[in-house]
Structure 1
Amino acid sequence: MPRSPPVALAGWWCDDASEYAFVGFSYETSSCQSYAQMRSDFMDAKHSFNARYIRIYGACDDDGYWDQIVNVAYEVGIGLHALVWFGFNGDSSYIGRRDQLLQTLTTNPKAPFVVRLVQFGSEPLFDYVLPVNELMSEVVRAQQILGGPNIAIDVTISELAYGYQAQQDSGAYDLFDIIDPINQHQLPYFAQDASSASNSWHDLRNDLDFFLQHGGGKKIYWDQNGWPSTHYPGVEPNSPDAVANVPNEQAYFQLLESKCTYLKSVRGGGVGWFFHIYSDSQEPGYGYYGMDGNPKFTPFQPSLFC
């Protein structure tokens, strides 16, 4: 990264079609990690695994925290998928988070050069966080604010196929005409017929086919994407045959590796996938790093291309 941000975005971002394999990690910020900790983690993601992006998950509500995230990403040289976090309380706290994020994106000169897109919510349709028309309005308003040539940050939502399907009658499919890329959740561990991770491709294809059918050929990222290494209360599988352990977590990402050529061929520039999530300390069971800070399995050397 240049010492000072460039004056123009022209030619800055790689073409979507180059992002069809592993692109990075989700990273939860609810612990309000320090600058030093975040820098260490982002450096590890980039230099140990060649991550292009960090997808922010959760929220830290400290004033100026989005500026910290942007400044760390710029220093490290890694991109961001930013997130407006709605939480699970059904309240209006997202408004302050939205405004803090938009403030950073429109005032921090480094933001347009690290933030590729903004996601409104993680499963906002599945969680019924807002009426669909209000969610659409949030996306459109953010696009108007961030869509100029000097910022040019895409806006979308981060959602399950089932979230769209559950709110079809409320107009959820109209979101496909509005959002920029498609940020899709892939959590086949919760499928009704789930068993082992290595047998999950048919569920992944079913959900992907839904987005290909309705998404209008837009770029697709699998952002909240993974298989847990352990069962934990409150997030139980829907199939009694679903197996949660470290070998299955590893097998899930090996399965994605084996499908690189197919993912590259998907229209819209292929499918880029994230590992959800960086560490079990951020979300138990889904991390690459365990609670002890050590990798849960090795090697993990994901392909960036095939």
Structure 2
Amino acid sequence: MPSTVPTTLDNWWCDYSSEYAFVGFSYEITRCQSVAELQNDFINIRNAFNGRYVRIYGFCDQIGYYDNVVNAAWRAGVGVHALIWFGFDGDSLWKDRRDALLRSLLSNLKAKFVTRAVQFGSEPLFDAVLQEDELAQQVRAAKATLSSLKIPVTISELAYGYQERDGGQEVLDAIDIIDAHMLPFFSAQASTASKSWPLVLGDLNWFVAHGNGKKIYLTENGWPSQTSPGVQPNSLQAVANVANEQAYYALLDQHCSDFKAVAGGGVGWFAHIYSDKMEPGYGIYGTNGALKFPFRPRTSC
């Protein structure tokens, strides 16, 4: 990052066409990590894995916490896909989180130079947190609020989340970019990760067909190394272990050129998630702080 905050966003972000293959990690903030811990992890994402971005997952409701994320990301030299977390209780806390995030984006001078996108929710359509027209309106309102900052607004969602809602296309039309969830382990046709490309391609082709050429990122994207009460397969043949978690990311690397060729600037993918301390089974790091397997994903081809 420069020694002083720039005065303009002109020529700040790389072209979308350069943002394909591996771009970074989902990173849960529910523990409200300190600035020092955020900074250390973000620096590791940048230096150890050539990660460009951190996609925020979960929530921290401490006042001004997103400023901590911005400052840590600035120091580490990574961008952020910010998140307005809805949760699973049907409460209205998301409105406070929305307002707090927008305040931070508008007031923190570094925020627009760090924040690559704002996401409404993690699977808000699949979880039916809002009616489709209301969710689309929230997206449009945030776009208007952030127009001077040129920060794209989207939702982070499964293809199925759009498909099961009659108003899904209205939301898809409202968003600026597509932040897609890719979790083939849960498919009824799942078996092993190395055989999951047809499942990935099926969802990806749906987004291409309905997304009007918009940039696509795979944000919540991975294969679990273990099951848990909240991570259960829908196929008796689906295998969850470390070897399959590793094989899934190897599969994505093998299809780097396919991702690069997708309209809208190619497909960039995140690894979900940084550590098993955040979400058991999906982490690249285990609960012991060590890598679960060698991880050097391709960032170009």
- TM-score range (shorter-chain normalised) is over 0.9
Give the structure 2 partner of residue 259 of structure 1.
255
Shift of 1:172: 1.3
Give the structure 1 partner of residue 220 of structure 2.
224
Q: Distance in 1 between matches of 2:82 and 2:177?
A: 13
Q: Distance in 1 between matches of 2:222 and 2:229?
A: 18
Deviations 1:30-72 (A, max 9, x none): 0000111111100110000000000000000000101000011
1:61 counterpart SS class:
coil
Deviations 1:212-259 (A, max 9, x none): 110001100000000000011132110011000000000000000000
Give the structure 2 partner of residue 23 of structure 1.
23
**Runs of 5+ unmatched residues, structure 2:** none
Deviations 1:6-33 (A, max 9, x none): 0000000000000111000000000000
Q: Using the aligned pairs only, state the percent identity.
A: 57
Aligned residue pairs total: 301
Shift of 1:304: 1.1
Q: Distance in 1 between matches of 2:299 and 2:13?
A: 16
CA RMSD of aligned residues (A): 0.6
Alignment partner of 2:298 out of 296, 300, 303 = 303
Tell me which amino acid in the other structure corresponds to 2:187. Answer: A
- The answer as to 2:53 corresponding to 1:57 is no
- The answer as to 2:151 corresponding to 1:156 is no
Shift of 1:3: 2.2
Shift of 1:75: 1.1
Q: Distance in 2 between matches of 1:132 and 1:121?
A: 13
Give the structure 1 partner of residue 288 of structure 2.
292
Shift of 1:98: 0.5
Tell me which amino acid in the other structure corresponds to 1:118. Answer: V
Q: Distance in 1 between matches of 2:250 and 2:230?
A: 27
Shift of 1:302: 1.1
TM-score of the pair, normalised by structure 1: 0.97
Give the structure 2 partner of residue 190 of structure 1.
186
Q: Distance in 2 between matches of 1:173 and 1:52?
A: 29
Q: Distance in 1 between matches of 2:81 and 2:224?
A: 22
Give structure 1 regions of 4+ aligned residues with deviation exceeding 3 angstroms: none
Shift of 1:175: 1.6
Shift of 1:176: 2.0
Tell me which amino acid in the other structure corresponds to 2:264. Answer: G
2:209 counterpart SS class:
helix
Q: Distance in 2 between matches of 1:78 and 1:38?
A: 11
